[in-house]
Structure 1
Amino acid sequence: MTPELTALALAALLQYAQFVAYAVPANRDLGPGYTSSARDRPPSRDMAPVTARLGRAFDNHFEALILFAIAVGVIQMSGQNSALTAACAWVYLAARLCYIPAYAYGLRPWRSLIWMVGFGATLIILVSALL
């Protein structure tokens, strides 16, 4: 497996880990009655700030993961894998790992800078395919 595909597989597993990191405290904060319901009404209690941030970080990774998967797919299918694209794939994964605690603990401006590193790494992979 190429480094880019390995990073993509690990990024997908990270999404599962983020789900657990968010779902467990959300279930505790909102109660299983609400979290197992159809959620037709707003919750009767609020989530803790860290729990809510973990949920937003989880959602953000879905958005970033789509672009990263496209970038890896394009590089992979075009056979244009290189040391640069491999490095960018690992940078993306490292950035996403760092993003979770940065978001959860409200580390500003670091959260945004970390996000930009991962986003930039994905962009470089895509641009590399077009050059």
Structure 2
Amino acid sequence: PPERPLSARTARLQRALNNHFEALILFTAATVLVTLSGQSSLFTAICAFIYLGARILYVPAYALGWTPGRSILWAVGFLATLLMTLAALL
């Protein structure tokens, strides 16, 4: 049988899931870098928790089409990942 098209909300959730996979790759790289460089600290742990919180809140924000909240949450998660990377390199 032919596939049914996704509902608007289901399609949004699919895009949110795809975005999670992309963000997780960067976060994983930052986490490995922090760990292997021995730069784990309270700061990097806080960044990791901020990333986690932002990504948890990102799902309903994306699913419900909250703008600009969705973009702000994405930016917070990305910034936390970036700061973890910088902490490992500096």
TM tier, smaller: over 0.9
CA deviations over 1:28-83 (Å, ceiling 9, x no partner): xxxxx55xxxxxxxx4x321111000000000000000000000000001110011
* Structure 2: runs of 5 or more not aligned: none
Q: 39, 46, 51: which is aligned to 1:87? A: 46
Q: Greater CA radius of gyration, 1 or 2?
A: 1
Runs of 4+, deviation exceeding 6 Å: none
1:8-27 to structure 2, matched below 5 A, reads none
Q: 52, 58, 69: which is aligned to 1:110? A: 69
Provide the C-alpha distance between the structure 2 equivalents of 1:99 and 1:49, rounded to a whole number of angstroms: 17
CA deviations over 1:8-40 (Å, ceiling 9, x no partner): xxxxxxxxxxxxxxxxxxxxxxxxx55xxxxxx
Provide the C-alpha distance between the structure 2 equivalents of 1:79 and 1:68, rounded to a whole number of angstroms: 17
The number of residue pairs the alignment matches comes to: 90
Give the alignment's TM-score, normalised by structure 2.
Answer: 0.96
* Structure 1: runs of 5 or more not aligned: 1-32, 35-42
CA deviations over 1:77-101 (Å, ceiling 9, x no partner): 1110011100000000000000000
Q: Which residue of 1 aligns with 2:59?
A: 100
For the pair 1:70 / 2:29, whether they are aligned, the reply is: yes
Q: Which residue of 1 aligns with 2:80?
A: 121
CA deviations over 1:107-128 (Å, ceiling 9, x no partner): 0000000000000000000000
Provide the C-alpha distance between the structure 2 equivalents of 1:102 and 1:50, rounded to a whole number of angstroms: 12
Q: State the identity %.
A: 53
Letter in 1 for 2:61: A
Letter in 2 for 1:114: L
